[in-house]
């Protein structure tokens, strides 16, 4: 305990010596402890001497502080033009957004129609019994398969269709 007390006293003596030297420079008293004196900064700022402006600087500041009617009119017109341009831009952006939403809705509708069309086509093709069609064609309607001599081949420039201009030879 005594050793701790001696170390604390030695530290206080060192601090007192360095603070005393600093106190002479700053003309402030040493305060022992953890509290620090707060300086009144506002008072120090007020006590500083104010710089005097030269006449030229004062005149320039006075000219800059006054606005004439033409300058105010120019600023007003500029502000109105800028506002008008921004409103037009926002309208264009909202129009583009609405168009994109409309296109998206139409694409969704097209996809739904394609899916329902494909489903209906598959339902129709799966419901047709080709064997029943063949049976009806042969038995009830009297149709027969083509024989070897009955098939005639034509050459055409267009592969899509053939026009019959005269009777087909037998």
Please tell me what DSSP assigns to residue 51.
P
Mean predicted confidence (pLDDT) in 114-131: 93
- 19 CB-contact burial (10 Å; exposed 0-12 / middle 13-18 / buried 19+): middle
Q: Which domain holds residue 99?
A: 68-143
With respect to residue 62, please indicate whether it lies within any of the assigned structural domains.
Answer: no
| 32 Ramachandran zone, left/alpha/beta (phi>0; psi -120 to 50) | beta
Identify the CA nearest to 166 among candidates 158, 154, 157.
154
With respect to residue 12, please indicate whether it lies within any of the assigned structural domains.
Answer: no
Please tell me what DSSP assigns to residue 89.
H
- Confidence band (pLDDT; 50, 70, 90) for 33? low
pLDDT at position 99 is 97
Query: Which residue shows structure tokens 């710089």?
Result: 51
pLDDT more than 70, % of the chain: 70
With respect to residue 118, please indicate whether it lies within any of the assigned structural domains.
Answer: yes
With respect to residue 55, please indicate whether it lies within any of the assigned structural domains.
Answer: no
With respect to residue 131, please indicate whether it lies within any of the assigned structural domains.
Answer: yes
pLDDT at position 92 is 97
pLDDT at position 11 is 66
Highest mean pLDDT among 5-14, 40-49, 119-128: 119-128
Mean predicted confidence (pLDDT) in 35-43: 65
Residue 113 CB: number of other CB atoms within 10 A? Answer: 10
One-letter-per-residue 3-state SS of 72-83: HHHHHHHHHHHH
pLDDT at position 109 is 97
With respect to residue 106, please indicate whether it lies within any of the assigned structural domains.
Answer: yes
DSSP assignments along 94-107, one per residue: HHHHHHHHHHHHHH
With respect to residue 167, please indicate whether it lies within any of the assigned structural domains.
Answer: no
Using the predicted structure, report yes or no on whether residue 84 has a pLDDT greater than 90: yes
Using the predicted structure, report yes or no on whether residue 24 has a pLDDT greater than 50: no
With respect to residue 80, please indicate whether it lies within any of the assigned structural domains.
Answer: yes
Using the predicted structure, report yes or no on whether residue 83 has a pLDDT greater than 90: yes
Please tell me whether the overall predicted TM-score, pTM, comes out greater than 0.95 for this model.
no
Using the predicted structure, report yes or no on whether residue 20 has a pLDDT greater than 60: no
- Confidence band (pLDDT; 50, 70, 90) for 146? confident
**Number of structural domains found in the chain:** 1
pLDDT at position 39 is 64
């Amino acid at each position: 305990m005594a050793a701790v007390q001696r170390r604390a006293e030695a530290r206080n003596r060192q601090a007192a010596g360095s603070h005393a030297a600093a106190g002479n420079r700053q003309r402030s008293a040493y305060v022992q402890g953890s509290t620090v004196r707060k300086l009144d900064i506002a008072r120090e700022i007020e006590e500083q001497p104010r710089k005097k402006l030269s006449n030229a600087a004062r005149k320039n500041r006075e000219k800059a502080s006054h606005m004439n009617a033409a300058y105010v009119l120019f600023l007003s017109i500029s502000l109105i033009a800028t506002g008008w341009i921004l409103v037009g831009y926002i309208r264009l952006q909202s129009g583009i957004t609405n168009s994109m939403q409309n296109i998206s809705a139409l694409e969704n509708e097209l996809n739904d129609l394609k899916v329902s069309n494909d489903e209906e086509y598959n339902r129709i093709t799966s419901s047709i019994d080709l064997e029943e069609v063949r049976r009806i064609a042969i038995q009830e309607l009297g149709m027969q398969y083509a024989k070897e001599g009955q098939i005639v081949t034509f050459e055409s420039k267009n592969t899509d269709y053939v026009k019959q201009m005269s009777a087909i030879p037998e």
